[in-house]
Structure 1
């Protein structure tokens, strides 16, 4: 039996199918673009708050005073379960103490200076990490898109047998999209190792969380911390009875004396002010991809051992190396610049891939001005919305609802592009993006 379907219905179905493909491309473009910008996550924090005190290092006793001052500022709030001390590092030479409720920068003497205000940096990281979707859903989606990049990179190589032979071949004339295709293919080849590494580590980070939840459900009675324990170490048993503040200075002094080759990056005080409190220090190891080794101490500063991220089983070392390899946090500013340029190239590959696809549809007679207008809205509207969100943070302060502002701007731009596809919004969006970029440094200096 032949199903009779009208030509208009078929055309609407094809347009709907294309729109779904466009949505997937838009999210992939957003993930790549925010990942490129978030490479400078530490630098963005410094730009957001120029008046925060900075230092190359801080004495253990000053950290102790800072912890005590922040805990005093916690009075009247629910008990905090964790207190984090971000130690000064090359990329972010600031000491910041964070609890479950608040965060402060402290000066070199351990005095509270100013509250931490880095809402845009956190928004940007959240957009890349989970599309600003709370919980497990956002990270799962981003992890799936990491797999998609992996599949696109490998299938692109297989689909173009001469892709490596033609790695430096350009056809200057853009005859039916040939020039655009050449740029797409060349950048794909040049960035292939980077794309594979980023896609694989991104998939591991995003889908690894899902896998851990599954392991916890099957083997650990839904205890997530127990599922993570074989890799990142176990939590100690809690004892909520009151106790004097833990000695944070002693572990830092011990590490400086006994492990002078490592550099502390974080101090984590678990269950502060209770008998169950204990201390962990995360420290970078030179010439290693791992984000750090975790050293364990009691409340009195007694050394209890390390987790084993630096010399434990291969799975531990691999898990601890994934984050730095993905975000480019292992070689200072030169590596960040390289990651930024390669990330920008990957973003262009994603953008040109969809543009090539739209061009092929049009050459086959499937003209859809609305799809083309929507893609222009994605290509130039997303960076415009990011820049305007940054300006909103500088103008309205740290409390500005940045996530809502960004997604509402994106929705508004795409709505206008869909409702008024003629003329194409490309030139206007480019002009607005350029103007907002020029306004950003001025707003930083005036702020």
Structure 2
């Protein structure tokens, strides 16, 4: 590589890193507790019972939730992946902002209500919002996506520069017999190359995750409309199928899968005449891939089932890779250690830039280009 090419790569690495490092550091710091969100979450204190999950009446849980919150509606139902619980949110309208939902949680085996803190409050909620959108909604999410792209540029340019800058050194050496800056430079290079693959995967999947809102809009505008067009709803005036009947029919139509989310008519993820049910598989990977089904809101009959399009599947597949929560606690610990190493890389990068400022200033005063 020519000297001019190296200087161009150095310039690209320096400025792409400087622009995104503060935000990358924020994402690493907020992402660390989110790796252990299941372990840090509330203690569910489930009662001992031999009843199978899903045996209690969901309609009864919905009725109790509405009775506790007069004047509100239930737009969705959310099942938990790991525990036999159902989260029933109530809101002012079917299209209300999810941040305003009030949740009531029930044991799906017994129907007993479980008292836990609201999921949209507390430390983990603040960390999640900072990590996802800086409390800025879609604009904040897309901004973080752009920072993620700059981070990918910084990673690639760092990989290109690693060889030329360390060709005279043994791999992994950290020199401690010279200046402090040189020691930090060696440590920065070592940790950077060790965490390269992981950091690249996490950064790239993070960028994909920031596209969730546009991907959801594309699915609603295309796939959801096509599914609804497959069968005309019965539209029986004043009749609404029970939720228990809808769930029973969809489980019979798609055996071997687990219901994760139910969207009622009038929400963005259903139609005015259909209930949308989203199911997942049973393996660590397939449990993250949703299969949507539509049921007639009047009769409860399942009218359409299909796989998600490839771009939605890519989004779902990126999420477990991003947080490392598909391999149990051992993988989470590995993810956390790599996250901490990445924090050191980011902080050392800022230190190296700051420590070089006096040298650049002296070069500028002498009229010579900084190296």
Q: Same fold per TM (> 0.5)?
A: yes
- 1:99 corresponds in structure 2 to 90
For residues 354 and 256 of structure 1, the distance between their equivalents in structure 2, rounded to whole angstroms, comes to 57
Q: Does 1:294 align with 2:291?
A: yes
Partner of 2:327: 331
What CA deviation, in whole Å up to 9, does each residue of 1:335-393 have, x standing for no partner? 22222222222222111110111111144457xxxxxxxxxxxxxxxxxxxxxxxxxxx
Could you tell me which residue of structure 1 aligns to residue 127 of structure 2?
124
Normalised by the length of structure 1, the TM-score is: 0.62
8 Å CA contact 2:105, 2:115 repeated in 1: yes
CA distance in structure 2 between the partners assigned to 1:148 and 1:256 by the alignment: 47
**Would the aligned equivalents of 2:249 and 2:302 in 1 still touch at CA under 8 Å?**
no
SS at match of 1:282: strand
Show the counterpart of 1:340. Answer: 336
- Give unpaired runs (5+ residues) of structure 1: 1-17, 213-223, 367-447
Q: Name which structure has the greater RCO, CA cutoff 8 Å, separation 6+.
A: 2
CA contact (8 A) 1:167 1:189 kept: no
The equivalent position to 2:242 in structure 1, one of 246, 255, 259, is 246
Q: Which residue of 1 aligns with 2:184?
A: 180
Q: Find the aligned partners of 2:47 and 2:176 in 1 and give their Cα distance.
A: 50
Please state how far the C-alpha of 1:29 moved relative to its aligned partner.
1.1
Greater share of residues in helix: 1
Q: Is 1:29 the equivalent of 2:25?
A: yes
- CA–CA distance in structure 2, aligned partners of residues 225 and 294 of structure 1: 17
Displacement of 1:180 after TM fit? 1.5
Q: Does 1:281 align with 2:278?
A: yes
What is the SS of the residue equivalent to 1:161?
A: helix
Shift of 1:332: 2.5
Aligned length: 324
Following superposition, the deviation at residue 166 of structure 1 comes to 4.7
Query: 1:258/1:21 Cα in 2 relative to 1: closer, same or farther (>3 Å)?
Result: closer
TM alignment of 1:209-358, pairs within 5 A:
209=213, 225=217, 228-230=220-222, 242-244=238-240, 246-248=242-244, 250-251=246-247, 255=251, 259-260=255-256, 262-271=257-266, 276-286=273-283, 288=285, 291-298=288-295, 299=297, 300-309=299-308, 314-358=310-354
Q: Does 1:42 align with 2:38?
A: yes
1:189 aligns with 2:186: no
Aligned-partner SS, 1:61: coil
Aligned to 1:411: none
**Inter-CA distance 74–68: structure 2 relative to 1 (3 Å threshold):** same
Q: Identify which of 74, 78, 82 aligns with 1:85.
A: 78
Are the structure 2 counterparts of residues 55 and 65 from structure 1 closer, same or farther at C-alpha, using a change threshold of 3 Å?
A: farther
TM alignment of 1:52-67, pairs within 5 A: 53=46, 58-67=53-62
- Runs of 5+ unmatched residues, structure 2: 1-13, 92-100, 363-371
Match of 1:150 among 149, 152, 165: 152
For the structure 1 residues 269 and 253, does the alpha-carbon distance in structure 2 shift closer, same or farther, using more than 3 Å as the test? same
Give the RMSD, CA atoms, in angstroms: 3.8
Contact 1:191 1:342 in 2 (8 A): yes
**Deviation of 1:34 (Å):** 0.9
Distance in 2 separating the partners of 1:54 and 1:144: 46
Look up the match of 2:357: 361
